[in-house]
Structure 1
Amino acid sequence: MTEVPLIAPLWTVQDVSEYLRVPVQTLYSWRSSGTGPPARRVGKYLRYRPDDVLRWLESLDDGAA
Structure 2
Amino acid sequence: MSDRLLSVAQVAERLGTTQRFPRRLIAERRIAFVKVGRHVRIPESALNAYIERRTTNPHTTTAGRTVA
The TM-score normalised by the length of structure 1 is: 0.71
Q: Which among 32, 36, 39 is matched to residue 38 of structure 1?
A: 32
Alignment pair present for 1:7 and 2:2: yes
Q: Identity of aligned pairs, percent?
A: 15
Whose radius of gyration is greater, 1 or 2? 2
Runs of 4+ displaced beyond 6 Å: none
The unaligned stretches of length 5 or more in structure 1 are 1-5
Q: In the alignment, is residue 58 of structure 1 matched against residue 63 of structure 2?
A: no
Structure 1 counterpart of 2:12, one-letter code = S
Aligned mates of 1:31, 1:8 — CA distance in 2:
18
Whole-angstrom distance in 1 between the partners of 2:50 and 2:3: 17
- Kindly indicate which of the two structures has a greater share of residues assigned to strand: 2
Q: Which of 43, 50, 62 is the aligned partner of 1:49? A: 43
Greater relative CO (CA pairs within 8 A, separation 6+)? 1
| Equivalenced residues, count | 59
